[in-house]
């Protein structure tokens, strides 16, 4: 692994202070509703997010933000940052992405300063969605786009598997089997979105979106989303 990839291990580690552990991305409601009961149902759910759900859109936004930073295109970066917020289709999805994104920017600027953070601040003074924040850092520290997309995708899946273990949907071993089994899909997703444009945004993981909306009024819960 090139030294350029090492920051990814830090930024997408559970120890990086973005609070990812607090979010289930709607999995908590899906479990209560009976949609997620075992390893097979969880694997199918996560694969749908990777292929044509929220992760697909995150990777498209990531790729577009990475390129906009590299090109010094502040107008494009502002458009992407605004669109990323607009695509958060529930209050909790917005909370999830902006809380992590803003925290990432705060920690990144303090410990990993780079010109791309300054470029983002000059172009956009609002909340920052998580994929945009990580994309800005990776470009600013010369991390190649493809491995950055793969690492972001793996971090997304690993965090949801961790939430699923805490919910009791699967155990630790099954959780690791699911992550390992999804690695080929993550490679494909990164390859598919590396050259994507904003025209490639879209998805059809409707049940996941409904789960996020339902979680907002779930009576008893462990997670913030």
State residue 2's pLDDT score.
53
Q: Please state whether the predicted TM-score (pTM) of the whole model is above 0.85.
A: yes
CATH number of 23-216, picked from 1.20.120.610, 1.10.4190.10, 2.60.120.10, 3.30.410.40: 1.10.4190.10
CB contact at 8 A, 94 and 88 = yes
Tokens representing 85 are 């917020």
The residue whose two tokens read 């959780």 is 175
State residue 126's pLDDT score.
97
What are the sequence ranges of the domains in the chain? 23-216
* Residue-wise pLDDT tens digits, 21-43: 999 999 999 999 999 999 999 99
- Nearest in space to 138 (alpha carbons), one of 114, 106, 165: 114
- DSSP code of residue 19: -
The residue whose two tokens read 């598919």 is 192
pLDDT along the chain (225 residues), means of 10: 77 96 97 97 98 96 97 97 96 97 98 96 97 98 96 98 98 98 98 97 93 94 95
């Amino acid at each position: 692994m090139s030294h350029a990839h090492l920051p990814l291990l830090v930024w997408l580690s559970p120890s990086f202070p973005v609070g990812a552990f607090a979010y289930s991305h709607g999995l908590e409601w899906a479990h209560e509703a009976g949609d997620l009961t075992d390893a097979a149902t969880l694997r199918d759910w996560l694969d749908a997010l990777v292929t044509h759900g929220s992760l697909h859109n995150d990777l498209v936004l990531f790729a577009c933000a990475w390129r906009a930073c590299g090109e010094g295109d502040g107008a494009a970066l502002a458009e992407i940052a605004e669109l990323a917020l607009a695509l958060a289709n529930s209050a909790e999805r917005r909370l999830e992405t902006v809380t992590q994104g803003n925290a990432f920017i705060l920690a990144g600027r303090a410990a990993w300063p780079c010109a791309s953070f300054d470029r983002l601040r000059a172009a956009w003074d609002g909340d920052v969605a998580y994929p945009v924040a990580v994309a800005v850092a990776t470009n600013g520290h010369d991390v190649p786009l493809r491995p950055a997309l793969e690492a972001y995708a793996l971090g997304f899946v690993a965090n949801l598997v961790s939430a699923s273990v805490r919910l009791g949907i699967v155990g630790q071993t099954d959780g690791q089997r699911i992550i390992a089994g999804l690695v080929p899909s993550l490679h494909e997703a990164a390859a598919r979105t590396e050259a994507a444009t904003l025209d490639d945004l879209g998805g059809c993981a409707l049940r996941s979106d409904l789960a996020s909306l339902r979680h907002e009024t779930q009576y008893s819960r462990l997670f913030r989303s």
